[in-house]
Structure 1
Amino acid sequence: MINRLLIKDSIAFNEVVINPSKGFNVFSGVSGSGKSVLMESILALFGLRDANASLIEASFGHSSINLEDIGIFDNDDLVLSIVKKDKTKYFINNQVFSKKRAKDLFGNYVKYISSHSINELSNENLLKILDSSIKEDEFRILLDSYNNDYKSFIKYKAELERLEDEEKNIIELREFTMFEISQIELVNPKIGEYDELMQVKKDLSKKEKILEKISSLKPIINGMAELINFLNSIDKNKEIFEETLNDIEVIIQQEEEKLESINEDDIENILNRLELLSNIIHKYGSIEGSLEYLAKKKIDLEHYNNISFNKASIQKELDYISKSIYTKAEQIREWREKYLESFIKSLENYCKKLMLNTPRLKLEKIDLGNNGYDLLEIMLGNSNTFSSGEFNRLKLAILCLEIDYSKQSGILILDEIDANLSGSESEGVAQVLALLSRDYQIFAISHQSHMPCFATNHYLIQKSNNGSKITLLDKEGRIQEIARMISGANITSEAISFAREKLQHL
């Protein structure tokens, strides 16, 4: 539960600190005082809303939250913080976190119901709660097995649809792939070939000039030979000159042999080859890129050639798993029908407390899905259309069942769930919330007097010159505020008497 809540620089509060109780916390005040802003801040801590203040911080014990899943192993109080400056940053015990991760972590710990939410009465949620009422191990194993098989079913079905789409265009795809393969294989590029041919092209362009220079060097080389003979005749050291001359003659000989090996008649072939390789490089980025693409296209061609076989294989797997999941879906339906009556009786109990007509539930068959092929229809009396008041109370009844079956604790946030209700209906909601507060820390906004009468803590939110403030009311303060909620700004003695009577248990 939240032990301490701090909000700074929101659109309603400059700075506010509250220490909510473990049980039923109710917030009241005139319209526009900041009640909804407060709830938005609390919801933001758990990733359910965007941050609406420069700092929102809450500290509370670990309770049922398994922080070890995210690498937090200390035993101190858990501290959630949101800091909003240029960017919004989330922290858990000073460790940077993401909004999405916070939402995932606290998803089963924090429940939120507003007059606009509809998830509570979705078929998926109703079946999930019905399934949670079935505690038999055999059913849990069956449900897990179905879920795993259904994931495989969806995977195979998607793969089969993909292959069927490919098959519609298989001839065109195969022909185009064969064309691309042939274009590369026709050129048959080799790694390093382009650079080698470019060097040959350069050598060809310089061949005549180099040969002319070699020819002009021969008199100089002959002169060096005469110089060596002269040095030999006068008994002077000639070795250094002989080595140099030999090196020069070897270089000239090698260059002459290389140039002679270049056939000028091949220049056209070389230029044509360079053009082909240049086109390949332009299209695929490099010779290596073209060879990688060629290998990929050969794999694609093999796939297209084998697509009929692959399709038959996938269809076989799909047929097998389809039979399995339909069998399991039927078994799941039998379990649900077996436990539906006790589920309805439990729901009837809460509906009665909330002054709702007797609920009627019926399992209908629909197309196979995540939850088998069951649709759980819910009616009140003979009607499946609900007023806003009925809708809100029915959502609360469903939440009560979920909490009963899961046996978990946590935080429950309610935004004017008693709106548009009569006095007796609002009182029923308050009584049920008082029961839930044994397991859940509840934060609720109310404009009616009954919730504050049953609340563990009653907070008054008021506007002031320095932003709204939140005051924890004592008994006399609660009496005055409840009387205001009943009679308006001009508080009557009857309203005061009613409030005193309702709060005599304090």
Structure 2
Amino acid sequence: MIERFYLKEYLSFKEVELNLACGLVVFTGPSGSGKSILMNSLLASLGASSCEASLCESSVTWELDSESIGIENDDINVFKHIKKDKSRYFINNQTVSKKAMAELGSRYLRHLSLKDFSDFENENLISILDERIQNKSKDIHAITSEYKAIFAEHKRLKQELDKIEEEEKRIVELKEFASFEIKKIEDISPLPAEDEELLEIKKELSRKEKVLEHIGAANAIFEHEHKVFAALDTLDVNSAFFDDAMNELRVVLDAAQERLSALDDVDIEEVLNRIEELSGLKRRYGSIEEALLYKEQKKKELAEYENIEITKSDLQERYKVVATKLKDLAATLTELRHVEIDSFKIDLNRYLKELYLREAEVKIEESDYTLSGKDTISLRLNSTELQKISTGEFNRLRLSILALKSEYMSKNGGVLMLDEIDANLSGEESMSVAKVLRQLSRHFQIFVISHQPQLTSMGDQHFLVYKEGDESFVRELEFNDKVDEVARIISGDKVSKEAKIFAKELLEANRCVS
């Protein structure tokens, strides 16, 4: 519920703070006092509308999904809209977009002045029907849970079969392509790091003659080696260091000469051709290693193509079993729903009659498989499509659906906001709307602007919106003030004694309405 609302500097309002109760919260006041402005600012504080207030803020008890929105949940969560140079939106002092705030608020808040068809969507109507069946000792929830799991499996298998059938149309082409790609790489038959080794051989070959020439010249040093030994001996210097150095030099020069001699049989043209082949692979695949991985991938794909008939056969068998199970579960759901639909229709029309509306036509029609079965609930108001009924009828029909749903609700349904739902109704019609709203208020916190004494008298909390000069104010009314306000609604600005008596009787009578 919304526990507190604060508004600052919006049109005729300078500052408003409301501590709100659960149940049915009624706003009344003379025309032009600012009731709709106040309601719009409350919606704007939750991202459901726009306004130019410098600040509008709502404190709510809704439990936020911290993971999905990235905002830590508190016992009381504060939604805030600030307008300076531009509008900014906050939840628990963390900046959010208006869209994010509106999406979050829409999970708990519903504005019934809008022609929103979500209450009449098949999923919602089916859920109401199933809840009625569940509460009559039929364990339909277990059946629907099993059905949904089978439906998901059926959908997955169908997608896999469709994919295989699509692949079958191209299977010859795909097999030829995979074989061609494999052969192209196997014809070259590259080895890991082979290109690096060949480049090193190419480098060695390009400088072989020059290196051998320098080695030959360097070998002349050994012809004078004995002279160095003689000189060191004359100087009484230990010649071991020179001996080690000369031996190490021999090893280096011999190894180089042996390595270059091994290249005598290497054909430079073959090396260059091989390097070019490997370069082609690298240009296409990035590296030799990636080319080898690609070859293995294509071998795997080729094996899958060759086994596709076996895979398809297995899937078809599984699909057949699942389809049979899905059909049986859907038939069970349909049977249970057909048994309950007449009772659903009777109770709905009872609410419609109370709201002075024509009877509704309700029937179950067969549809394609959906997540809720093969049933579609068709709903018309006296043969008229819902898109063609008046806004007043539409909203009262929505109230009837909500009332029907609330009969089996086990938790709080959130917040409903209704702007002048009793406008242009007779006294009897207004009282019928008030009674339905009073029933709904057991499960919803309801904000309503009222112009009729019947609905006003039903409120669990009553706020008067009024003006003094050009400034609007809001105050909560106690019983005696409620009597005066209801009497004003009955008789106008000149309140008669009879109106006050009737207002008091109406309020006292409605204290007993549960």
TM (normalized to structure 2)? 0.81
- Report which stretch shifted further, 385-394 or 421-430: 421-430
8 Å CA contact 2:46, 2:101 repeated in 1 = no
Q: Distance in 1 between matches of 2:300 and 2:348?
A: 59
Q: In the superposition, relative to structure 1, how do residues 40 and 282 fare at CA in structure 2: closer, same or farther (>3 Å)?
A: farther
Structure 2 Cα separation of the partners of residues 222 and 455 of structure 1: 121
The DSSP-based 3-state class of the residue aligned with 1:153 is: helix
**Residue in 1 aligned with 2:291?**
290
The letter for the 2-side match of 1:393 is R
Which residue of structure 2 lines up, in the alignment, with residue 389 of structure 1? 392
- Measured in 1, the distance between the counterparts of 2:276 and 2:87 equals 55
The residue number in structure 1 matching 2:180 is 179
1:78 counterpart letter in structure 2: I
CA contact (8 A) 2:281 2:291 kept: yes
Aligned partner of 1:441 among 429, 438, 445: 445
Report if the CA contact (8 A) 2:41-2:51 is conserved. Answer: no
Deviations 1:429-456 (A, max 9, x none): 2331122223321123456665434323
The aligned residue for residue 3 of structure 1 is: 3
Residue in 2 aligned with 1:455?
Answer: 459
- Matching of residue 314 in structure 1 with residue 312 in structure 2: no
Q: Paired residue for 2:168?
A: 167
Q: Distance in 2 between matches of 1:362 and 1:345?
A: 12
CA, structure 1 residues 111+37, in 2 after alignment: closer, same or farther (shift >3 Å)? closer
How far apart are the structure 2 equivalents of 1:177 and 1:325?
38
**Counterpart amino acid of residue 282 in structure 1:** R
More off after superposition, 109-118 vs 162-171: 109-118
With structure 1 as the length reference, what TM-score do the two structures score?
0.82
**1:199 matched to 2:200:** yes
How far apart, in 1, do the equivalents of 2:429 and 2:61 lie? 34
Residue 110 of structure 2 is aligned to residue 120 of structure 1: no
Kept after mapping to 2: 8 A contact 1:8/1:15:
yes
SS of the aligned residue for 1:493 comes to coil
Aligned residues: CA RMSD: 4.1
Once structures 1 and 2 are overlaid, which stretch shifts more, 153-162 or 239-248? 153-162
| Distance of 2:54 and 2:201 partners within structure 1 | 70
Deviates more, 1:392-401 or 1:173-182: 173-182
| Residue identity opposite 1:117 in structure 2 | D
1:103 shift after superposition: 5.6
SS of structure 2 residue aligned to 1:405: coil
Q: How does 1:300-379 map to 2 (within 5 A)?
A: 300-379=301-380
Residues of 1 paired with 2:319 and 2:105: CA distance? Answer: 35
The alpha carbon displacement at 1:372 in A equals 1.5
Q: Distance in 1 between matches of 2:164 and 2:435?
A: 58
Which residue is 2:216 aligned to? 215
Residues 201-280 of structure 1 aligned to structure 2 (within 5 Å):
201-232=202-233, 236-263=237-264, 265-280=266-281
Q: Partners of 1:254 and 1:466 in 2: how far apart?
A: 106
Q: Percent identity?
A: 31
Kept in 1, the 8 Å contact 2:41–2:50? The answer is: no
Residues 88-117 of structure 1: per-residue CA shift (max 9 Å, x gap): 55449x89999879967984x555534321
CA deviations on 1:400-456 (whole Å, 9 max, x unpaired) are 111111232242322437277533434432331122223321123456665434323
Q: How far apart are residue 288 of structure 1 and its match?
A: 2.5
**Residue of structure 2 equivalent to 1:412:** 415
Q: Which amino acid aligns with 1:368?
A: Y
Deviation at 1:232, TM superposition (A): 4.5
Q: 1:193 to 1:101 in 2, by over 3 A?
A: farther
| Deviates most, 78-87 or 439-448 | 78-87
CA distance in 1, matches of 2:154, 2:210: 75
Go from structure 1 to structure 2 and tell me whether the alpha carbon gap of 1:21 and 1:268 turns closer, same or farther (over 3 Å shift): same
CA deviations on 1:228-267 (whole Å, 9 max, x unpaired) are 2443577641111010000001000111111121247522
* Secondary structure class of the residue paired with 2:112: strand
- Tell me by how many angstroms 1:298 deviates: 1.9
**Does the aligned pair in 2 maintain the 1:449–1:486 contact within 8 Å?**
yes
Maintained 8 Å contact 1:389/1:421:
no
User: Is 1:431 paired with 2:432?
Assistant: no
Amino acid in the other structure paired with 1:134? I
Letter in 2 for 1:18: L
AA aligned opposite 2:184: Q
Return closer, same or farther for 1:71/1:421 CA change in 2, 3 Å cut-off: closer
CA contact under 8 A between 1:453 and 1:503: conserved in structure 2?
A: no
* Alpha carbons of structure 1 residues 356 and 296: separation in structure 2 relative to 1, 3 Å: same
Return closer, same or farther for 1:231/1:442 CA change in 2, 3 Å cut-off: same
1:362-395: per-residue Cα shift (whole Å, max 9, x none)? 1121222222111212233344453322221111
1:79/1:159 CA distance change after superposition, 3 Å: same
**Are the aligned partners of 2:143 and 2:333 in contact in 1 as well (CA < 8 Å)?**
yes
- Conserved 8 A contact 2:7-2:17: yes
Q: Which segment is superposed worse, 247-256 or 29-38?
A: 29-38
Sort the Cα spacing of 1:469 and 1:215 in 2 relative to 1 into closer, same or farther, 3 A.
farther
CA distance in 1, matches of 2:309, 2:8: 65
Q: Aligned partners of 1:212 and 1:322: how far apart in 2?
A: 84
